[in-house]
Structure 1
């Protein structure tokens, strides 16, 4: 789950920003007035966005950026004059903050993170030899009994899997069980 942490020099400002985000449907995990406090919260959470000011009570935004755990991105709230000095790896919203700019930027950041996670999850999905064997055997049965090509058999298993809400290995196992029951 994506988390939002807010770190601003004045804790009252951080709490006001949290209220704005929560009114727009976001969940804010924590607020802090120090970089060390924000980093402590980040280390407990999986991923998300750190919204911070350029200078906190104990450190600057670049030092925080260097120490942030992987999976978090920084959204810096800064004046227009300062934004031009910020590295490309840090997204910025100009102060004074316009609610629509903040909401749209946070939404965009969280959406991009979710897309990256889904893409990474798909990429890392390698089947074991045993799982691949179930699918291969089910394809062979479909090819022999229903006179399908290998591609058609694979697509059939894939479609049945999607229609039933099970993964392809479970669907292949069901096909094999049905065949051997006859």
Structure 2
């Protein structure tokens, strides 16, 4: 599968060099920008697999653009920076989900490993987000089950085990999740 990329760099020659390196590596450059507003619009409109973003873009400051791209989780971001910006970029990388950086000058030997790192960080962040959501869902289900079991124990004089089995059986019989059954029980006894 070819990865779709947006390249945002003010200097046309550098942008072309980056496009050429990425194309040879099998990427498809689906958008180019020479300013931050265009870069953000392209990233939002195309949902690329990678955004290569230089710090020299006119318009919105690059730090703000990186923050927006990271918060919206639009794509992994590889920031191309000058040596003088290295320290502030280290801070961004530590606090961002899917941002990596590369110090200029850009060449094939340093660009492709940096791209791989940005993609790997993004995949890891997406997996962590899925895992966190799954844990939140599990916790919510457990809370619902505990509340429904408590109501069954109180109003139907069941033991905790009986209440759980009752919810489990009802869920299977009705082809619903235990959380859905627990919500129904809570609503029924709440009235």
Gaps of 5+ in 1: 135-182
CA distance in 2, matches of 1:117, 1:47: 15
Superposed CA RMSD in Å reads 3.2
Deviation at residue 33 of structure 1 after TM alignment: 0.3
Contact 1:6–1:52 (8 Å) recurs in 2: yes
| Alignment correspondent of 1:42 | 43
Q: Which residue of 2 aligns with 1:103?
A: 112
Deviates more, 1:69-78 or 1:94-103: 69-78
Instruction: Tell me what 1:86 maps to.
Output: 89
Quick one: structure 1 residues 123 and 77, their matched pair in 2 at CA, closer, same or farther if it must change by over 3 Å? closer
Distance 1:50 1:43 in 2: 11
More helix by share: 2
SS class of match (2:53):
strand
* Per-residue CA distance 1:113-166 (angstroms, 9 max, x = gap): 23443555567678xx89x849xxxxxxxxxxxxxxxxxxxxxxxxxxxxxxxx
Helix, strand or coil for the counterpart of 1:96? coil
Conserved in 1, the CA contact under 8 Å of 2:44 and 2:74?
no
Give the whole-Å Cα distance in 1 for the aligned partners of 2:172 and 2:45: 40
Distance 1:95 1:44, change over 3 A: same
- The answer to whether 1:73 aligns with 2:69 is no
Q: Which runs of 4+ in 1 moved over 6 A?
A: none
- CA shift at 1:41, angstroms? 0.6
Structure 2 gaps of 5+ residues are 94-99, 138-167, 174-191
Report 1:1-182 matches (<5 A).
Answer: 3-46=4-47, 48-68=49-69, 69-90=72-93, 91-118=100-127, 120-121=129-130, 133=172
Tell whether the 8 Å contact from 1:4 to 1:27 is kept in structure 2 after alignment: yes
Aligned residue-pair number: 133
Do the aligned residues in 2 keep the contact of 1:11 with 1:31 (CA within 8 Å)?
Answer: no
Query: 1:35·1:64 contact (CA, 8 Å) conserved in 2?
Result: yes
1:39-85 per-residue CA deviation (whole Å, 9 max, x = no partner) reads 00111133533212212132331121233232333322122232123
